[in-house]
Amino acid sequence: MTGDAAGGRITNKAESKRKPLRPVNVHFRTTEEEAAEIRARMAEMGITDLGAFARKMILEGYHITLDLKEVREMAALLGRVGNNINQIARRCNETGSIYADDMNDIKTHMDEVWDKAREILSELSKVK
């Protein structure tokens, strides 16, 4: 099959002895600036194979780059809460009582965790 697709060429390599996984070739030309933008987007997405990148973008039509900074912050907050709970459990086992300051500390840290979770969910809801 030979034809023109958006300024490119599509060919079918039926003459090949071994059938390739994807027998149809799609070729297109770009400017240097467009090629640089393609390489930058590939790097941003962590894709090194131009064919895989082109298929993904053509078939899906979009890409999402996640900034996981907030998720890492939330994980750190959860770690702090876990540490506080362990310290309180040890103290409770030693003394037989729980202090109000300890419970307030946990509540404060849990409020921070929930605030961060709401922030993350708010940002995720903007992704279309």
Count Cβ neighbours within 10 Å for each residue of 65-104 and write b for 16 or more, e otherwise.
eeeeebeeebeebbeebeebeeebeeeeeeeeeeeeebee
> Which residue is it, tokens 């030693």?
94
Residue 102: what residue type?
D
pTM greater than 0.85 (yes/no): no
C-alpha 102/C-alpha 85 separation (Å) is 9
pLDDT in tens, 4-30: 444 555 555 554 466 678 888 888 899
Residue of 27, 25, 26, 3 lying closest to 14 (CA atoms):
25
pLDDT greater than 70 at residue 2:
no
pLDDT in tens, 62-118: 767 777 788 888 888 888 888 888 888 888 888 888 888 888 888 888 888 888 888
> What pLDDT was estimated at residue 128?
63
> What pLDDT was estimated at residue 5?
46
